[in-house]
Structure 1
């Protein structure tokens, strides 16, 4: 144990009547929902970068936090890991996630950075064995260092592409060694700011080639987890190639990777793309590429990715409804890509943030399960589209009718469709019954 969280015990479930701020009111890992333990449904993970590496900065100001592990050497990195696993254990989360730059200081060369990453992985193995906490996914930070200012895979300099490829390999190796269940690629700067200096086609081909290399290496080393691409529309890059789920699917189809790669969907990124989170989840479910989620929220009054902890049970309900309809998580889970506010200075604030998020998700999961169990919503949607089960409708859908044949039938039968109410307000009220 470290001294950083002294006085904070493991967080327990005390029920909805509890007023204890250091207890779960709704998240009970052993509660059975639709035949499965809640812990197995939600598969919570703590994000190493926001919880351990975030210094409290924002676009207009620097560090506000003062943590004993801040430092650019391996002793500080090991202390950070010790604090991290104490946090994971006291929260009772089964997983964590990390970028390489979160867990080890940058070396003077790629070889030194990789050696430091492997040394921290050794320490992680010990802590994982002690605590039982597992790795949901690993990834490489290919956006913070100035070498990546014009992109990583999409950089005009092939040496940057090669450096990024080597960095991804090192992180895939560590993710494999630690038993990670997924590997994520987030192209923070894979896009462009102006077409005046950009060869769009070349950059897309480079990005497709890098992802193909990743998939090839996955099979070479026998990695059993999923490869996940994380959509993000903007900020900092003006035109991001992985804009949203639909754009990612089109990209995957173009390069023949739609059966090899799924998506890791973040609430804040859906928001920046002009979508709701449930839309992105529904699109991924429909296209067959749903993988995992980053759970957070944005501030509607700010124009950047603010990464608050989730606090709206209704939004969580609509999200987990889509996740349950997709069959639930397999290798994926609920990673809190969320950070406490820069004025939330105390160690206990990290617990308050995660308890808020975990309880919000638990309420959403239970409400979504109740919606599905009730069946009223599903029945309404099925009835709305029931006409498509008719013989002529199926013939049109299957390509058995030409355009002129369809037109002839409309004229000969005197078809004059009448609008039917979509009953949106009724359905919104229906959702509220379960939240």
Structure 2
């Protein structure tokens, strides 16, 4: 971290763990291609398979069921494929929760007219009655529901969703990118058929992810063809350096999770108490009534321009976000908050503060000091004037 800066945007990305950096440095010295049969190739293959086993262990899967990708977005795109099946009848339509990441809302390889959104409650939790009705209306569907929302931190009842989907003959994809390393889960316990992961959310490098498959699943068809890598499920020479970093990060993050997250949840409680004290009348913690990730706070203030507040925090030396890192550069309301029933004004007003393993009480105190200075002005004055005063 840069000196005198406070990083509170861990849901966007995390610092590279020392263990991941060391594994990547070691992989730089490995000459061989993992597909080659000579000694150099076998050495590269050994590193690749070690990382595959480490990632598989993080979610209770068999190593052969892990397909490495260029990141979470590609993992999602690979999963969202017509024709997947567990039984005899393939899925030809897709049901997706209205609060998914943009890479899932896009529908993958499903035609737009075959994709239907599932409603959520005011707390951002899936409306199970709506899902049940949608499953009853059509044939077997691919249902995609994230385990933890990247903006609100709200957790979804995936086990119940899995039972409903499988009773209807469907297939369940779970985007678990924000959940990995923050809450315990396994692909079998979830009842999921496909699970997407990303390295840079747990202290691994950017640009590498994985799709984990249930062994009973038929498919998906590869996005990239032309080689036999990843058991024919993704062509192209593997990103050995990034994959080695992913495996090393997973091997550290999962054992440390319980202690890290207990401490981090205490910091979040301190943060939210402070936010409520400073803005007792206007501010609200989004999804406060739902189970949430222990590190995530989405704070909304009517009349606030979130992008202006983010700049104000940045000038104070604090990194926060106005939503998903994939969309926070766009001045538009959060689709997650709109799906939860928030009007456009409030959907433009939310600040996401997300914590990580190196977050401290002093970080929380600095954040609250900055908010106390900003809060009195940002909802009332022109944003340029406010930033000049700050």
Task: Identify the TM-score tier after normalising by the shorter chain.
Answer: under 0.3
The two structures have a TM-score, normalised by structure 1, of 0.26
Higher relative contact order (CA 8 A, sep 6+): 2
Greater fraction of residues in helix:
1
Question: Computing the radius of gyration over CA atoms, which structure comes out larger, 1 or 2?
Answer: 1
User: Taking structure 2 as the reference length, what is the TM-score of the superposition?
Assistant: 0.28
